[in-house]
Chain A
Amino acid sequence: MAMTRSSTFAKRHGRRDFLKKSAGAVALATFGIAREAFATEPVNIGGLYPVTGSFAQIGQGCVNAAKLAVQMINDAGGIKSLGGAKLNLIVSDVQSDTTVTRTETDRLISGYKLSAIHGCFASALTLIASEVAERAKMPLLTGSSSDQLNKDRHYTFTPFSRASQFALAQLQMSKLVSDTPKVAVIFENTAFGTSTSNGLREQAPGQGVEIVMFEPYSAGLTDAGPLINKVKASGANMLFPVSYLNDLILIIRAIKQNGLEIAINGGSGGFVIPDFYKNVGSVAEGLLGVAHWNHDVNTDAQKVNEVYKQQYGEFLFEYAGGLVAQTFMIADALERAASTDPEKVRDALSTLDVSSGYAAMGPGGKVKFGPDGKNIYAHPVGVQWQHADLAAVFPKDDARAPLIKI
C-alpha cells in the first residue's frame, strides 16, 4: 500500500523533482561547491513527548510509534522529491511539565534545523508547545483534543477529533445502552475534569440524555466506595467518569464491589490504553470509551498495529496510532513542498488532502485541514473493551465489531 502511494507521488512530482535537482545543479555550478551529500541530507522532524513524570507511560508509547513511522517512511525510500532524503526524528522529553515543555520546544527549534514538530499528548503541554511553535513559525501536528488549539493559530494542525466532539459522541453512545439514558457524571475537580464534564452537561439536553447526577470529586481518591454509593443512590443507568487512571481503577473496582449494575463510558485518555486493562483486568470487559483513533478502523491501521504489537507486545493505542498517521502527513507535505523549509511545509500541510494510505488511516478516512487547522473530516470513534482488546463499535460506519451488551 505504501509503495503504490509513494510511487504515485514520485510520478506526480516528477517535474518539481526535476526543477529542484536542476536548480541544485545550477547552484553547485555557480558557486563551485561540490556537495555530494546535498540530495540525501536527512530531514529533521521534532517529537515532543513526556517520557518521564506522570504521563511517562503514554509518552513512551508515542515515541515508540513515532520511531516506527519514521522507519516505515525511510524504508519505503524516504522523501522522493528531496532525492530520497531520510526522515530523522529528534525526540525531546518534556517531562510532563509545562515549564520544561516551553524550554524544550524552544531548544529543539533553535538547536536543530527542523521542518516540522509533533507532540505532546497531554493537552496542557501541547498548548504551551503550540504557542512556542507559532512564534517560531514552525508547523506542529498534534492529536491533542483541546479546542483551544484551533484558536488564532496558523502553524498548528489537529488531524483528529476535538474535545467538543468527544462529549457529543459519548452522549450519543449512551443510546446504544438504553433508550432512556439516565447518566451520572462524576468528574475530578480539575481543569480537565470541569471542562470535559461541562461539555457533557451542555450537550445532553440536545441529545435527549438525562443527567441525574453531576458530581465533582477531589482527584486522588483514597477510596471510591462512598462516591459509588452515591451513584447507586442516584438511580443512574449509565456512568461517565472523567478521571485519570488511578481514580478510574478505584472507581471501576468499587462499582463491582458495591454490586452496582451500570453501563460505563470512560471517555478517552487513560481509559483507552493497554495499561488500563492491565490494571483493571477482566472487569474492563464491555466497558465503553471514546477515542480519536483506533487500531481496527481500516486495513492500514491494522497493518501498523500488527507491526507495533510484534515489537512492543501490546496493541497500538489511540494516541500512538494517530501519531503514525501524523508522521505520514508530514512526509506527504514534505514530498509536495519539495523543501525542508518549515514555512513551505506549513503551506503544504494547509493544502493537504488525502483519502488513502497511512496518512488517512483515521476514523473518516480523510484528512483536509480547514483554516483553523482542524481536519474537516475528523470525528471520534466509540470503542468497547472486548477480549482484552479495544474494538470500534460506534458510529455505524466505523463499527468493526458488534456491541456487546452487558
Chain B
Amino acid sequence: MLTTIAQAVVNGLLIGGIYALVSIGVTLIFGVVKIVNFAQGEFVMIGMYISFFLAANFGIDPLLSLVISMPVLFVIGVLLQHFLLRRVLALGDMPQIFLTFAMSLLLVNVALLLFTANYRTVQTPYSETAIHFGTLFVPMAKLIAFAVAMVLSGLLWVFLHATDLGKAMRAAAQNRDVAMLMGINPDRVFCVAVGVALALAGAAGSLLMPFYPAYPLVGQVFVLMAFVAVVLGTLGNVTGALIASLMMGVAESLGIQFVGADSGLIVVFAMLLLTLALRPNGLFGGWSR
C-alpha cells in the first residue's frame, strides 16, 4: 500500500513538471504583457513536431533538440509580440482573447494540413526504461523531463531576479509607465517575455517527445491543466505556477489511484474550486518578488 501511494506521488510529480513548463509560460506572458495566451498549448505542439522531425530525419535525440526548439520558439515569440500582440495591447480583453484563440485554431488546422492527424512517436533508448529505488519505479524519460524542467524554471527565476533584463521585465510588469520613465523600453521587454514563454513551451514539447506522441491537437491536452495551475498558483506568479503544477500532478495521480481513473481531473478541479472559494487570488497572492 505504501509503495502504491509513493509510486502515485512520484508519477504525479513527474507529470507535474511538464504541466509546470506550460503554465509558467502562460503566467509569464500574463504577468508581464497582461495577455492570456490561449495558443500556448499549440506552441508545445510545434516544439514536439520540431523534435519529432529532427529525430526522424536526422536521428537527433529529442532532448538534444531542445537547443534548437527553444531558440526557434523564442524567435517566434518575439515576432508574435512585435507584429501581433503589440497591436492589441491597448484594445482591452476581448480583442486579445480573440487574437490568441484564433491563433490556436489556426495553428491546429495548419498542423492538420501539414502533418495530418497521425500520431508520431520517437523511440529512444530511455523511452521505456526506469530507475528502481527499492520497489519504486521512476521512468527515465519522465525523470529527465522533470529534471530539465526544474533546471529551466530555476534559470528563469535567476534571470528574473539577478539580471538587468529580468529586473526590467518585472518592473515593466509592475508599472509600465514608471518603467518607461526609468529608461526601460517596454516593447523590447515584452518581446523577450513572450519569447521566453514560448521557448519554455518549446522545451516542454521536446521533453515530452521521448514518451508522448505528437499530433495536432496535443497542445490542448496540456493547456487545460496549465490554465488551472496558473489560476491556482495566482495569475502572473511564476513560482506559484510551478508549485501549483506539481500539486496538481500529484492530486490527479492520487485521485486516479483512490477515487477512480476517470476522476483524476475531478480531484484537480475540486482543489481549484476550494482554493478560489477560500483564497480568491490563488495560493500565492501577488507577483513573486
Contact = CB atoms under 8 A, between A and B. Distances in A.
B4 A233 contact: yes
Interface string A210-233: 000001111010110111011011
A39 interface: no
Contacts of A222: 15, 221-222, 225, 252
B132 A259 contact: yes
Interface stretch (A140-148, A246-254, A381-389): A246-254
Contacts of B222: 222
Nearest to A220: B221
A215 B15 CA distance: 21
Given A220-B221, A225-B11, A229-B11, A258 B262 contact: no
A56 interface: yes
A3 interface: no
Interface extent on A, as a size class? Answer: 35 or more
Nearest to A230: B257
A215 B261 contact: yes
Contacts of B252: 222, 226
Interface string A233-273: 10000000000011001100110111100000000000000
Contacts of B265: 218
A246 B120 CA distance: 10
A71 interface: no
A257 B130 CA distance: 5
Nearest to A221: B221
Contact of B117 (A53, A189, A253): A53
A257 B139 contact: yes
Given A222-B222, A225-B139, A279 B121 contact: yes
Nearest to B215: A246
A118 B129 CA distance: 44
Contact of B118 (A189, A226, A230, A275): A275
A54 B119 CA distance: 10
B269 interface: no
A291 B261 CA distance: 27
A40 interface: no
Contacts of B212: 250
A253 B118 contact: no
A275 B119 CA distance: 9
A226 B264 contact: yes
A205 interface: no
A355 interface: no
Interface residues of B, number: 40
Contacts of A225: 11, 14-15, 139, 142, 253
Residue picked from A186, A253, A283, most chain B C-beta under 10 Å:
A253
A302 to B, nearest CB: 28
Nearest to B254: A226
A57 B112 CA distance: 13
A391 B7 CA distance: 36
A345 to B, nearest CB: 34
A62 B118 CA distance: 16
Nearest to A215: B261
Residue picked from B119, B140, B211, B257, most chain A C-beta under 10 Å:
B119
A371 interface: no
Residue picked from A186, A222, A245, A258, most chain B C-beta under 10 Å:
A222
A208 interface: no
A256 B119 contact: no
Contacts of A278: 121
Contact of A279 (B4, B213, B262): B213
B128 interface: yes
Nearest to B255: A226
Contact of A186 (B117, B128, B253, B261): B261
Contacts of A249: 119, 121, 213
Contact of A54 (B15, B117, B137, B213): B117
A402 interface: no
Given A222-B225, A225-B253, A257-B139, A189 B7 contact: no
Interface of A: 52-54, 56-57, 186, 189, 215-218, 220, 222-223, 225-227, 229-230, 232-233, 245-246, 249-250, 253-254, 256-259, 275, 278-281, 283
26 contacts: A216-B260, A217-B262, A218-B261, A218-B265, A222-B15, A223-B11, A223-B14, A225-B142, A226-B264, A227-B256, A229-B4, A232-B7, A233-B4, A250-B211, A253-B127, A253-B211, A256-B129, A256-B130, A257-B142, A258-B130, A258-B139, A259-B132, A275-B118, A279-B213, A281-B123, A283-B128
